[in-house]
Amino acid sequence: MSNTPAPLDNMELAMPTPWQQSWSMAKYHLGLQTGALIVLIALICAVFAPWIAPTDPYAQDLANRLAPTIWQEGGSWAHILGTDGYGRDVFSRLIWGTQVTMIVGFGAAVISGIVGSTLGMLGGYLGGRVDAAVIFLINVKLAMPGVLIALSLVSIFGGSLLSITIILSLLFWDHFAVVTRTATQEVRTREFIAAAECSGASRSWILFREILPNITSKIIVIGSLEMGIAILVEAALSFLGLGIQPPTPSWGILVAEARDTMFFKPHLIIAPGLAIFILVVGINLLGDGIRDVTEPQGRN
């Protein structure tokens, strides 16, 4: 038995870095991966629509109206999903529609996220009168029939991409405000905020450099939910003829246009409907997945 003394400088880290932890969880998170794949495909379609879409989505070929799909009799590779009532290529219109859908969905989520989170964080951190004002705004918003107001605003300002995006973001900011307000109140009581105050930090530093990084994952989750809802509402508005105006290929318009032929050409309505469904599910899976792998309390 030898008496070798044990080494004393044996300080080790107990855990891998947060990024490594998130990464190792993401590797086994099927929902996150599925969602990310769907959103990625949609993004690629939106950005590269001019190159991916086989034909011009506006080009009418009246001689070739309601052409069959590739798997139906008489279908051809020229029109994979056939053509619509004006002889336009459905597949190309679907891909171009991704662009409208993503811009509206993402734009509405980002704008409402910025507005709502700012209000929520200010209310949650400053408390007192500011908080009372924020709560009042949220209550006013909740008391208003949102969709009706959106409908009337659209009919006033018209269905341009910009106005639809802004009007939709006015519809959803309150969810961000409610969630960030509670999250901020929780983070505010933690001791590192007091430590930052004792280090001479200003209010804006504490809000944006200390609190915000700790609630971003919550904002992202809400953002993903709102993006999904915004896409659905945009489709609904376009379907009602109040949203994006034809002939712009929005998925809602595609559904609306397919109404007349839905009994004998059901694929015309199923294809955009399915696209909306899959994209919204994908976005929600992605949001949930991001929350699962980034929330610190999901660890330990």
**Residue from the set 73, 74, 129, 191 that interacts with another protein by CB under 8 A:** 191
Q: Residue 77 has what DSSP assignment?
A: T
For another protein, the closer of residues 259 and 299 by Cβ is 299
For another protein, the closer of residues 1 and 148 by Cβ is 1
For 148-160, the DSSP string reads HHHHHHHHHH---
Q: How far is the CB of 154 from another protein (least distance, A)?
A: 40
Name the residue type at position 198. C
Structure tokens that stand for 219 in this block = 């904002």
- Judged by CB under 8 A, the stretch of 19-27, 62-70, 119-127, 159-167 that binds another protein is 19-27
| Alpha carbons 228 and 249: distance in angstroms, whole number | 19
For another protein, the closer of residues 21 and 55 by Cβ is 21
Determine what percent of the chain falls in helix, strand and coil, rounding each to the nearest 5.
Answer: 70, 0, 30
> Which residues, at least 6 apart from 138, have a Cβ–Cβ distance to it below 8 Å?
119, 174, 177, 178
According to CB under 8 A, which residues from 200 to 259 bind another protein?
A: 200-202, 205, 210, 213-214
According to CB under 8 A, which residues from 27 to 66 bind another protein?
A: 28
| Alpha carbons 120 and 189: distance in angstroms, whole number | 16
Cα first-last separation, the chain: 39
**Residue from the set 5, 74, 128, 145 that interacts with another protein by CB under 8 A:** 5
Residue 12 near another protein by CB under 8 A: yes
| Largest interatomic CA distance in the chain | 97
8 A C-beta contact, residue 41 and residue 278: no
Q: How far is the CB of 16 from another protein (least distance, A)?
A: 6
For another protein, the closer of residues 74 and 297 by Cβ is 297
**Residue from the set 48, 157, 192, 277 that interacts with another protein by CB under 8 A:** 192
Structure tokens that stand for 21 in this block = 């932890």
Q: How far is the CB of 152 from another protein (least distance, A)?
A: 42
Residues near another protein (CB under 8 A), total: 41
- In 3D, which of 13, 29, 114 has the Cα closest to residue 294? 29
Residue 186 near another protein by CB under 8 A: no
Q: Which 3 state secondary structure label does DSSP give 83?
A: strand
Structure tokens that stand for 95 in this block = 């891909």
- Judged by CB under 8 A, the stretch of 128-136, 154-162, 187-195, 271-279 that binds another protein is 187-195
Q: How far is the CB of 40 from another protein (least distance, A)?
A: 23
**By rule CB under 8 A, what string of x and - marks binding of each residue 139-178 to another protein?**
----------------------------------------
For another protein, the closer of residues 6 and 143 by Cβ is 6
Q: Quick count: other Cβ atoms within 10 Å of Cβ 148?
A: 9
> Which residues, at least 6 apart from 14, have a Cβ–Cβ distance to it below 8 Å?
none
**Residue from the set 47, 190, 274, 278 that interacts with another protein by CB under 8 A:** 190
**Residue from the set 44, 135, 196, 262 that interacts with another protein by CB under 8 A:** 196
**Placement of tokens 């811009």 in the chain:** 103
Residue 126 near another protein by CB under 8 A: no
Q: Which 3 state secondary structure label does DSSP give 76?
A: strand
Residues that bind another protein (CB under 8 A): 1-18, 21, 24-25, 28, 190-192, 194-202, 205, 210, 213-214, 296, 299-300
